[in-house]
Amino acid sequence: MSVKVEFDPKNMPFRRLGSSGLRVPLFSLGGWLTLGGTVVGDPVKEIIKVAFENGINMFDTAEGYAKGKSETEMGRVIKELGYRRSDLIITTKIFFGARYGPNNTGLSRKHIIEGAQESLARLGLEYVDIIFAHRPDYTEEVVRAFNYVIEKGWAFYWATSEWSAHDIEEAYHVADKLNLIPPIAEQCQHNMLHRERPEKEYAPLYKKYYIGTTVWSALASGLLTGKYNDGIPEGSRFAIHTKFFKDTIKSLGEEDGREKIRKVKELNKLAETELGCSVTHLALAWVARNPNTSTVILGATKPEHVVDNLKALDVIPKLTPEILDKIEDILKNKPAPEPAFGRPPLDHLGRL
């Protein structure tokens, strides 16, 4: 295939994905609920094109997104735009399947291998860079199967998504015992309103295995944009996917939901008055500055959404210790440290 466009990373920072040598952009683009779902045809091409032109060369999808249509749309657009394959980082995920059936979901060896082949066929690619286990399953079979996928050349790396720290630890033990390839990253939800798992539960894994995170829902499904501060606007994610977000929508009328909205309003005030940005940019920058974050996956229904979200890059250097303290004063949800059992705290300049 002739290359029509050369990749220019512009001012996009790149980080290593976990302990691997793979360098990924700090912001990437995902297809959950959008590409192949609410967005199809030429608009998909425009969104990916604008992302690529602004330094994003990592695109995330899954077999379960729009029952495989997300992979199909993404693959079609990549081919039509004429990007060099080696310039791209393409990731997909296996578990939920593109259709119903007793062996079309889960992480049996059968579904991992057949699902990987079907994903590649929909994408029109010979390989993906990373293939994720979209949920946990029987660990030894999973590790063996993903090792096979890598050895066949269908993926370069494998990773996990929404696994507990216990399950990830088990995968490393199995890989070590059997001399197989362990996962390199975890795709988890991480945002100002959801912190316990990525910041506390995974903390030992960051130190022990140097895993990185590919963050989804950095804006808490839109809550951290402020768009839901005064109700659910027409055309919003909650309005379009009412059934999927029914529990979240219900919670907005309850004490917990009202407290979250109050925090978003306070964060918006801080962003505008002290940083000269929107709460959206602040929320994205806050997740991106975390050293364990390898990439933050953006979602977009329009090209201009990508461009606007990338303004978060300018906010990251503004997150001084003083600003971060003010954010914590608003959130009041920082995970508690592990107990010291009466011992004095360790020097923060030393190895913790």
List the catalytic residues. 65
Number of H helices, E strands in the chain: 14, 10
Q: Which of 209, 148, 157 is nearest to 178 (CA)?
A: 148
b/e per residue 248-260 (b: at least 16 CB within 10 A): bbeebeeeebeeb
- Tell me if residue 313 falls in helix, strand or coil: helix
For 127-195, where are the alpha helices, taking DSSP H only?
139-151, 165-178
- Which are the contacts of 43, defined by CB distance < 8 A and separation ≥ 6? 301, 302
Q: Which of 111, 101, 100 is nearest to 137 (CA)?
A: 111
Q: Which of 24, 15, 56 is nearest to 303 (CA)?
A: 56
Cα gap 160→140, rounded to integer Å: 14
CB 200 within 8 A of CB 335: yes
Q: Which two tokens stand for residue 280?
A: 């959206």
Backbone angles phi, psi at 48, to 5 degrees: -65, -40
Q: Which of 141, 139, 280 is nearest to 221 (CA)?
A: 280
CB 171 within 8 A of CB 205: no
Cα gap 339→337, rounded to integer Å: 6
Provide the greatest CA pair distance for the chain.
65
CB 60 within 8 A of CB 30: yes
Backbone angles phi, psi at 248, to 5 degrees: -65, -45
CB 191 within 8 A of CB 283: yes
